[in-house]
Amino acid sequence: MNGSFLDSQRERSHLPPQAADIMLKDDWILRIESKPMWHSCIIKWYQVQKRLIELFMSCPYKASVEGFCDGPGTIELTPHNALHTWVGNTQNPEYEKLGEFYLAAKDPVFYAHHSNIDRHWDDVWAMAGAQRKQRHQ
């Protein structure tokens, strides 16, 4: 298989036509779904339908603040982090390349993946602007 987004360290069992499972389990074992495309669409809808910006983005990261929250928001976990792991090679200890922070940008698909994540963030900022207008009316 050839193409500009392919990389020698890509997980071979996840190459096209395989659909990404964006709900990876904590132990990195992929769930087998009878309809993975349908499942991904449902998860995607859930991720972007948050009515409050805080639910989408989570709470702010604040060092040295009592009771601060360090949890990621919904888009950070899925699809962002899940796809980094899903594309990374399971034969490598940290799922390199895309699955590990220090090597992720060396995988050509990193840029396509982050362009898609930026597209979702655009929706978040539009939603935040709409909420701001509603609060001031």
Task: Tell me whether residue 6 is in a domain.
Answer: no
How many whole angstroms separate alpha carbon 37 and alpha carbon 42? 9
Structure confidence at residue 10 (pLDDT)? 75
SS (H, E, C) 57-77: HCCCCCCCCCCCCCCCCHHHH
Task: Tell me whether residue 70 is in a domain.
Answer: yes
- Higher pLDDT among residues 102 and 28, named by residue: 102
How much is the pTM? 0.59
Mean pLDDT on 120-133: 68
Structure confidence at residue 83 (pLDDT)? 80
Task: Tell me whether residue 3 is in a domain.
Answer: no
Nearest in space to 53 (alpha carbons), one of 114, 131, 134: 131
Instruction: Find the helix packing angle between 36-48 and 109-135, rounded to 10°.
Output: 40
Residue 40's alpha-carbon distances to 61, 74, 91, 122, 127, in angstroms, are: 28, 14, 25, 20, 22
pLDDT tens digits for range 57-88? 566 656 666 665 656 666 777 777 778 887 77
Task: Tell me whether residue 42 is in a domain.
Answer: yes
**Both structure tokens of 71:** 């949890």
Total of domains in the chain? 1
Nearest in space to 127 (alpha carbons), one of 75, 62, 89: 75
Task: Tell me whether residue 2 is in a domain.
Answer: no
Q: Is 90 a residue whose pLDDT tops 60? A: yes
Widest CA span in the chain: 55
How many whole angstroms separate alpha carbon 25 and alpha carbon 2? 30
Residue 128's alpha-carbon distances to 74, 98, 131, 134, in angstroms, are: 15, 30, 5, 10
- Higher pLDDT among residues 29 and 49, named by residue: 49
Q: Is 114 a residue whose pLDDT tops 80? A: yes
Task: Tell me whether residue 78 is in a domain.
Answer: yes
Mean pLDDT on 98-127: 80
Task: Tell me whether residue 79 is in a domain.
Answer: yes
Task: Tell me whether residue 7 is in a domain.
Answer: no
- The range of the structural domain enclosing residue 106 comes to 12-135
